[in-house]
A and B are shown apart, each in its own frame.
Chain A
């Protein structure tokens, strides 16, 4: 039996932000994640946009925390070695009605405290994004893009170095009330804590119910994306959204540039029953491409290199008109349970302000003393492709493995793969290598580097082919040797 002051359930952006924030204090904290790595759910399957906060209802937690998060995002990315680019965003209107909606957005943004919003005419829009459809746009200067995998992973790894214990492959299956706290049971272990933080995303309703608070219901709402080749980055240089229309259930199908230069198309919004239904559908992918072509007529199909699905954890059911704000509070039914529920978009942007609120809730109940071990700054493995030639040469002189490029599309070196395989979290699936380094995410989708990565995994981890994990522990992508 392991005893903690705080247990965080869920290793998404929010759970990891809470872990990082609490590592500032002299608390014994554990984070439990059901997957083999963090950022395996919604946190890694979204548009990777740092939102400005003009889409959210004034006065809501969403609005307040999004604007707060946006203003501090660049700084945290700098501290934690996370890619970030302040590229701004365009919300494009196609007719007078759209332009009216855009004027409304500027007003909402003003009320929410967003900085840098302006309406621009077609000429100015064309100057910013040549070849774009539409009659005018709202330009949001403070919108940015990031790498949500590295954001989440680095928050978690920094928290670990600060003393937070992180346990992967631990799916919570039972929570028992204890005098002055909880016993949290997984398939293999039991953990005890005084305060339980429910950052379980899509499953936050289930975790709350296990702890004795059964008032919540999460309605999963899928969004599919197409991924375009980095060649598409010559066509657009910042996220391009259509003017939002009511009842769409999301922000509308948009084009988003990513840190790597790929362009994303998506997402649609479709309520589903199965929280694990990540399959894409042929008709939806067709529709996404057609809508993206309206925004950017020069897009061609041969740019498509991949696809994925993310699932929003919505508090509002299909067809309901009411507004579902973030729930960030200590349960009034179960003292010691802090619920973070309904954290959908802009949850990535708002994750650290949400974590700050959690720390404040805990601080109201007990004195929080500083933790001398806290790691305010963190650096992951050096990203070879982002270095100058001189710096690359110096890296190779230190370690010749930097001179061996394994993933050619994304210029990922053997040295980076070896370091990622020995990450602090102990995550070592093919997908966790991909999420950390972008290896296999390029235009050949791992065609060239998959065998090389598999060989490195066998060599570095000392395992046989059948012991390699694809996405989850023990999922066995390879049955063994050929002979």
Chain B
């Protein structure tokens, strides 16, 4: 079995991992970038629509173009070795990385590790839609892979459940590729996707969006023939008298993303309920020193630009960790009014930090407030917040908190 050593092992060659590898290499680290597929880019390669990179590059790129820009930099960078076709099956708390590759099993001993492993999609089983188990039921990403990369058609008449951006984008993709999209259903009272996607993906093609409505049952013995749909009330309970059936051969599910946590767990890291992933400090370092995490494997992001920014942060600090720099103890961030979670979950004193958060409820004309010992340490006006849109702010360094914690509220 082969063994190798490196300063920083980056696991995952998607947007987070590529950015992490680049920033670690820029700090002078010898980086091993481990990717399970043939090429870099991860999920971006199947996101052939445009809308990526406006913050970073000031133009609207497609997924493959956004990935391509980073992949070119990786290819040109000094100090990055790309290991493709390699699947990491285990990460040890001692910074050992176990990979399976077509050239054999490989063990990498790294001084620091960046986990940039991405997420997977919530399934029909996870949201327990009852009924038969027919062909024709796909998560949006799986359908996207089949249609955009594999040239495999999945059906002729589709219903989409879930109004997140992926669901909306699939509505347009299916329509463009010749599939009739009957409607998009959303169980929540508000649309989870960006307004621009509602316009470009649904309104442009006259596809109806029904809020407070969901799929309760699948019918069809071998292939999907019908979905049973029904309104839900404010508490999420179904309203039986609104039940109707829709004939369709395809159901696309866009009902949420869940960070991959197998490698975090293998390193002995805890998985918190709110982010479905592990807590980190403002260097994106986990509770195991020298193991960093970023991107959708850390918490699910809306925009790839933020994923890249997290990758850069994790890569930089992983390189510095590998060079011997250690972070001190951090100040816990508590969630106050209308804050579902923050990431990072702890702040390193005196250092600026990118704080991401999601709210619990939609609200307008709000202020994000960070308090310590009852004092306002930072505030920022927010014109409109929704649970579907992540809030991201740059926090100045915080010092001298007697209570040893800060609280973040949106009020």
Contact = CB atoms under 8 A, between A and B. Distances in A.
A448 interface: yes
Interface in B247-282: none
Contacts of B221: 276, 278
Q: Chain A binding site: helix, strand, loop or mixed by DSSP?
A: mixed
Among B1, B121, B130, B147, which residue has the most Cβ atoms of chain A within 10 A? B130
B101 interface: yes
A282 B135 CA distance: 20
B126 A302 contact: yes
Contact of A445 (B123, B136, B141, B151): B123
B142 interface: yes
A444 B104 contact: no
A276 B134 CA distance: 13
Nearest to B261: A231
Nearest to A442: B120
Contact of B100 (A284, A403, A446, A475): A403
B151 A447 contact: no
A482 B130 contact: no
Contacts of A86: none
A290 to B, nearest CB: 13
A470 B222 CA distance: 8
Interface in B115-161: 120-121, 123-126, 128, 130-136, 138-139, 141-142, 145-147, 149-156
B120 A393 contact: no
A444 B120 contact: yes
B92 to A, nearest CB: 13
Contacts of B134: 470
Nearest to B140: A447
B217 A396 contact: no
Nearest to A286: B128
Nearest to B146: A451
B175 to A, nearest CB: 13
Interface string A298-328: 0000101111100000000000000000000
Nearest to A288: B128
Contact of A451 (B123, B142, B177, B178): B142
Interface string B361-395: 00000000000000000000000000000000000
Contact of A392 (B100, B142, B145, B152): B100
A393 B149 contact: no
Interface residues of B, number: 51
Interface in A410-449: 411, 413, 430, 443-448
Nearest to B136: A477
Contacts of A396: 100-105
B219 A447 contact: no
A382 interface: no
Please tell me the size bucket of the interface on A.
35 or more
Contacts of B73: none
A482 B124 contact: no
Nearest to A450: B142
Contacts, number: 141
B89 interface: yes
A227 B154 CA distance: 26
A281 B130 contact: yes
Contact of B87 (A390, A405, A454, A482): A405
A400 interface: yes
B153 A465 contact: yes
A447 B135 contact: no
Contact of B133 (A284, A308, A401): A308
Nearest to B273: A302
A483 B1 CA distance: 44
A87 interface: no
Contacts of A281: 130
Contacts of B301: none
Interface string A457-483: 000000001000011100111111111
Contacts of B1: 389-390, 393
Interface in B211-269: 216-219, 221-223, 238
A389 B98 contact: yes
Contact of B102 (A276, A278, A390, A401): A401
Contact of B150 (A397, A430, A447, A455): A455
A404 interface: yes
Interface of A: 226-227, 276, 278-282, 284-285, 302, 304-308, 389-390, 392-393, 396-397, 400-401, 403-405, 408, 411, 413, 430, 443-448, 450-451, 454-455, 465, 470-472, 475-483
15 contacts: A279-B218, A284-B130, A285-B130, A302-B126, A307-B130, A403-B105, A408-B36, A444-B120, A445-B123, A450-B142, A451-B142, A451-B152, A472-B222, A476-B223, A483-B151
8 smallest CB-CB distances across A and B, nearest first, come from: A306-B125, A477-B135, A403-B102, A470-B135, A400-B102, A475-B222, A445-B123, A393-B105
